[in-house]
Chain A
């Protein structure tokens, strides 16, 4: 039963809510208890724009449990325009054609389900920003 763990992260997973340090303006995603740059514990919640670019990526061909039906799938670290980097699946594309620096945009997608009777888990993924 993964429900509480899944549910707790919803603001970040659904809406890309990040924490911006009020002192040094560094943005953490996900939030940290204190700012890794200046140590301040005074944050405000901001919503990331969902736009960024591929910092590095790979193609997962042997998947963990729950992802077997999706292989091969793109996976990458997306550097958001606001600065934070996010590990995410890159979907809706031919993963062979992805390149470092490609522009990416947030989409809301299914990540996995807890078996055929359990909860369905949703979160951000990224897709090539081709204007659709």
Chain B
């Protein structure tokens, strides 16, 4: 297996991009990435996209996106794993390069979510749940995560304030990120006053609906070393699935797919979680970040809430999480999220993160998951 490196990232400003189409934002991210990588070469392209079909009435992105880029003959494929589509697209690009099938593989994640109404978007997102045994009965994603939050509160005494601490921290970080959809600070009072969506989760506990795209260029470590820019080495990749329906799990507070994908990635990198300096994780809801902290092994089960409110995960904490602002503040264009997490990790490792730059970091972890953690993909990135 060949060693892997990231030589380019491309990220655009996210938000409600009324004037831009899915194909436009995907192409923008790709060309920003090519510019950053200093190359035009694309041997293959993987496209992370959850539901072009439902959000835009458009499938077949493997033809659409290269075509719009003016590079219609690029071998491309779309990768779908609900909200983990982006991370899976990066992983698939890595497989292309590691195996020797391609030398330059670009992964682009894209989701254009505002072409349909909020109700329709809620429906499209709910297709990541078990349609026949969850969505059919009227449960929503906020509802599924609310049940996890309720169970976490019941079992571990996790508090409203601890949930809010995740939101406050991520919005603070996002306020320092010019690409974020909501780059402003939020107070605990604002969280408490936001409307209840699904008890105990309020509107400000939830990640938003976002249009966005992101891209990363993967090549071999040898190729990367020829370039001027400092390459970022991908030392670990992990990937796992879990039951699609939350009710099928013996313990709904155990994110097995996250645990397994993390352990696999750490093992491949020859590291333990203690060797990781920071993480970008899938905070689709405030409770998710708390539970992911536990699943990563950063804290023991039940201690994620307290760790968050104690400042463990802040920019100046011992284990900074979501310096980008996370899904909460940066936005959550589902198929793009996993790719954008890698972009942030690379930005941090390169020392290019400006006001939100973390100090003394060499190793970062990204964790991206689909649905109620029915799938999860983890990457470990390092500077040498």
Do any beta carbons of A and B sit within 8 angstroms of each other in the complex? yes
Q: How far is the CB of A42 from chain B (nearest CB, A)?
A: 20
Contact between chains at A58 and B247 (CB < 8 Å):
no
Contact between chains at B137 and A111 (CB < 8 Å):
yes
Interface size class of B (residues with CB under 8 A): 35 or more
B99-129 vs A, CB cutoff 8 Å, 1 = contact: the mask equals 0000000000000000000011011001000
Which one of A62, A70, A100, A111 contacts B198 once the chains associate, using CB atoms below 8 Å?
A: A62
Give bound CA distance, A60 to B154, whole Å.
19
Contact between chains at A60 and B132 (CB < 8 Å):
no
Give bound CA distance, A84 to B247, whole Å.
8
B179-203 vs A, CB cutoff 8 Å, 1 = contact: the mask equals 0000000000000000111111100
- Closest Cβ neighbor of B126 among chain A residues: A64
Give bound CA distance, A89 to B195, whole Å.
21
Contact between chains at B138 and A5 (CB < 8 Å):
no
Highest count of chain B CB atoms <10 Å: which of A30, A86, A87, A111: A87
Q: How far is the CB of B150 from chain A (nearest CB, A)?
A: 5
Which one of A9, A58, A60, A85 contacts B248 once the chains associate, using CB atoms below 8 Å?
A: A85
Give bound CA distance, A66 to B138, whole Å.
8
Contact between chains at A58 and B147 (CB < 8 Å):
yes
B268 within 8 A of A: no
Give bound CA distance, A98 to B126, whole Å.
25
Q: How far is the CB of B250 from chain A (nearest CB, A)?
A: 9
Contact between chains at A64 and B135 (CB < 8 Å):
yes
Q: Which residues 1-43 of A have a CB within 8 angstroms of B?
A: 5, 9, 30
If A57-B147, A58-B146, A59-B198 touch, does A65 touch B247 (CB 8 Å cutoff)? no
Contact between chains at B197 and A77 (CB < 8 Å):
no
Which one of B154, B201, B245 contacts A56 once the chains associate, using CB atoms below 8 Å?
A: B154
- Closest Cβ neighbor of A86 among chain B residues: B247
